[in-house]
Amino acid sequence: MKNINITLLPDGIKVISEKITHVKSFSLGFWFNVGSRDESVKNSGMSHFLEHMFFKGTKKRSAKKISEEIESLGGYLNAFTSKEHTCFYGRGLNAHIEKTFEVLADMVQNSVFAPKEIEKESKVVIDELYDIEDSPDELIFDKFESNTFAGNSLGMPIIGTEKNLRSFKQKDLLEYIEENYTLDRFMIVASGNIDHTDLVKFAKKYITRNFKSSSQKTRSVLLQPSKDVHVEKETQQVHYILGKPTYGYKDLRRISVAVLSHILGEGSSSRLFQKIREENGIAYQINTFLNSFFDISTFGVYLSTNEKSVFKAQKLIFEELEKIKHKKVTASELDRAKEYLVGNMLMSLEGTTNRMIRMAHQMIYFGKIIPVEETVNKIYKVTKEDIRDLSNELFGRRSLTDKFGEFEDCSLTRVILFPKNLLHKKA
């Protein structure tokens, strides 16, 4: 493709870049195809903890110096961990890409993981864990996925457990890196006003660590029957999720799920937003979601409302699911959903960071860069029949409930996070 180059170095590292001449900046990411899905119960949270620790000092730079060297040039460094990959990235003006590359290379190869820094950072991450526990709109998604994927590493929270975070030692971090941060899982991706030949030169110059050559990694999911989950918290609102697994990135039908998701609950014109918020005024937050992984996704509905309205909202949700199962969506509604998806995708690609992330995701999940036009065409090809068939597949059994504990649908997981003592009041 025009302006996109991919080089496989002799040692196995991939270098991918996209040149954009009309900008003066770049986004550079060091990607490892490793995340919480590759962990066990014993080391759950390790990938995310390492994301923090790579910023805590190398053999020649302190944590402060890592930040100062980039920020003094007007750039910044950051990182994120998902269930399937970890990315360390920097942004800056194109004149400073070599310095950013060298600092990132130093971090991922020469971090010392000083015991005192491990002990200190574990407290920071535990505070982050507590923040999630205090945020019901975040916690409920962890509970939903932990139950949807019960018994699988995919169900473990990215942040891990307090017990693990308190137990991690330097040798644990080094052993995890040795086993998981391997050449076949590592790639360098950049987007912006950069030259691909420079990136390849920097990789040869600064990537000197003897990474393990390869690691046999298998990822699989064995699904258990869904169940009803109740969580008591000190909260004023009831938070509610209804959902189930569906197609992952590797399945083309995921695009149809994305279109269905928009029709049902993405945006102010969606069916659920109009029915529950605009017509009935019983929820501030109401939306569908599609969280995707290589081989599977979770799709569902999330809302927060007061205890008196939650079951009315649930009834209305089921009514909308029934409608979309039995009656084809209109041409205008389908077209509106497609244009929304295409518009959001194209607007997101106006920034170099999102473009860099998109290229990395596609290399991880598909092994190639898919042209934007190809993705757009796939969205436009979704038909009314596709939406109806998919709705029947996902919501084939209808089950209503009017109080906690009487949910019968064996294919849908329902998670309700409610104020303490509410369950007992309802009983």
Q: What is the pLDDT of residues 309-318, one digit of tens each?
A: 999 999 999 9
* Same domain membership, residue 74 and residue 146: yes
Q: Residue 135 has what pLDDT? A: 95
* Same domain membership, residue 241 and residue 196: no
Given 173, 206, 239, the domain boundary residue is: 206
Q: Are 368 and 387 in contact (CB under 8 A)?
A: no
Q: Which of 51, 84, 117, 266 is catalytic?
A: 51
Q: What is the CATH number of the domain that holds 360?
A: 3.30.830.10
Task: Give catalytic status of residue 145 as yes or no.
Answer: no
Question: What does the pLDDT look like over 77-125, one tens digit per residue?
Answer: 999 999 999 999 999 999 999 999 999 999 999 999 999 999 999 999 9
Q: What distance in Å separates the CA atoms of residue 37 and residue 152, rounded to the nearest whole number?
A: 8
User: Which range of residues forms the domain containing residue 375?
Assistant: 228-426
What integer is the mean pLDDT of 275-288? 96
Q: What distance in Å separates the CA atoms of residue 68 and residue 74, rounded to the nearest whole number?
A: 10
* Same domain membership, residue 162 and residue 247: no
Domain count, the chain: 2
* Same domain membership, residue 386 and residue 303: yes
Say whether pTM exceeds 0.75.
Answer: yes
Question: What does the pLDDT look like over 200-246, one tens digit per residue?
Answer: 999 999 998 877 777 667 888 988 888 889 999 989 999 999 999 99
Angle at 335 between CA 329 and CA 337, to 5 degrees: 80
pLDDT beyond 60 at 408 = no
| Among 243, 191, 268, 230, CA closest to 419 | 230
Given 206, 238, 260, the domain boundary residue is: 206
Q: Residue 403 has what pLDDT? A: 47
pLDDT beyond 60 at 58 = yes
User: Strands 14-19 and 186-192, how do they pair?
Assistant: parallel
Is position 212 within any domain? Answer: no
Q: Residue 396 has what pLDDT? A: 74
pLDDT beyond 90 at 405 = no
Q: What distance in Å separates the CA atoms of residue 183 and residue 215, rounded to the nearest whole number?
A: 8
56 HSE (CA, 13 A, CB side): 19
* Same domain membership, residue 409 and residue 276: yes
* Same domain membership, residue 414 and residue 310: yes
* Same domain membership, residue 108 and residue 142: yes
Q: Residue 218 has what pLDDT? A: 80
- Both tokens of 14, joined, read 């991939």
What's the burial of 405, exposed, middle or buried (CB within 10 Å: 0-12/13-18/19+)?
Answer: exposed
* Same domain membership, residue 354 and residue 234: yes
* Same domain membership, residue 242 and residue 189: no
Q: Residue 421 has what pLDDT? A: 67
Q: What distance in Å separates the CA atoms of residue 421 and residue 230, rounded to the nearest whole number?
A: 12
**What size, in residues, is the chain?**
427
* Same domain membership, residue 239 and residue 198: no
Is position 257 within any domain? Answer: yes
Is position 221 within any domain? Answer: no
CB atoms within 10 A of CB 59: 9
Question: What does the pLDDT look like over 377-388, one tens digit per residue?
Answer: 999 999 999 999
CA dihedral 129, 131, 133, 134 (to 10 degrees): 170
The listed range with the strongest mean pLDDT (229-233, 293-297, 307-311, 416-420) is: 293-297
Q: Residue 423 has what pLDDT? A: 53
Q: In what order do the strands lie in the sheet with 238-246?
A: 228-233, 413-419, 238-246, 297-305, 285-292
* Same domain membership, residue 297 and residue 179: no
* Same domain membership, residue 197 and residue 99: yes
Confidence of residue 174 (pLDDT cuts 50, 70, 90): very high
Is position 213 within any domain? Answer: no
Is position 308 within any domain? Answer: yes
